[in-house]
Structure 1
Amino acid sequence: MSSDLETAMETLINVFHTYSGKEGDKYKLSKKEFKELLQAEFAGFLDSQKDSETVDKLMKELDENEDGEVDFQEYVVLIAALTVACNSFFWEES
């Protein structure tokens, strides 16, 4: 039986691979795949952003190796940053 944290890690991995590889490298998210992931998995976050270039800005910030795609390591940076940003909100709500 998996712990809560192991289950969460498995979910993060599965979500990444659900969207990666639809076009091009199966171990990276193209801009289109990244946008699909954000729209499906973070719809509330994107809805609250008034700037229509949010996806472009996130992609540029995450793409450390500047290959125009988001690999798994870069994706984890996004998840970690969002988790840190949401920590106090969810902690105070419980």
Structure 2
Amino acid sequence: MEGAIKTVVMQYLSSARGKENLGGKNFQKLVQSQLGNILSDTESSSAVKEMMRGLDDNQDGKVSFQEYMTLVGYLATSLSEQKASGQEDKH
């Protein structure tokens, strides 16, 4: 798990390119490259902009690390629920 956390942090920092927050293009590149197999519509700039608006708690037009972690947490929870319901069906 430690490796997974380090990967999440390093991918965000790499995508932010030394800045504190991700702008629209860098956010879209990050979700396309790292979350494209989990999220749908990562190729659609309008869908990604909508996702950004939903994550952007302080309404600054950018995604902070904390705001990005909201997305990661949501995805982790969704995957966990899918796996749990899949296991229940097999019993």
Q: TM-score, normalised by structure 2?
A: 0.79
- Partner of residue 10, structure 1: 6
Is residue 49 from structure 1 mapped to residue 41 from structure 2 by the alignment?
yes
> In the alignment, which of 42, 51, 61 is matched to residue 58 of structure 1?
51
State the Cα deviation string for residues 19-71 of structure 1 (Å, max 9, x = none).
Answer: 003xxx6111001100000111122244x339x42101110010001111001
Q: Identical aligned pairs, as a percentage? A: 31
- 2:73 alignment partner, SS class: helix
CA drift of 1:18 comes to: 1.3
Structure 2, unaligned runs of 5 or more: none
Distance 1:83 1:72 in 2: 16
CA drift of 1:90 comes to: 3.5
- Partner of residue 29, structure 2: 36
CA drift of 1:16 comes to: 0.3
In angstroms, what is the RMSD of aligned CA positions?
Answer: 2.2
CA drift of 1:6 comes to: 1.9
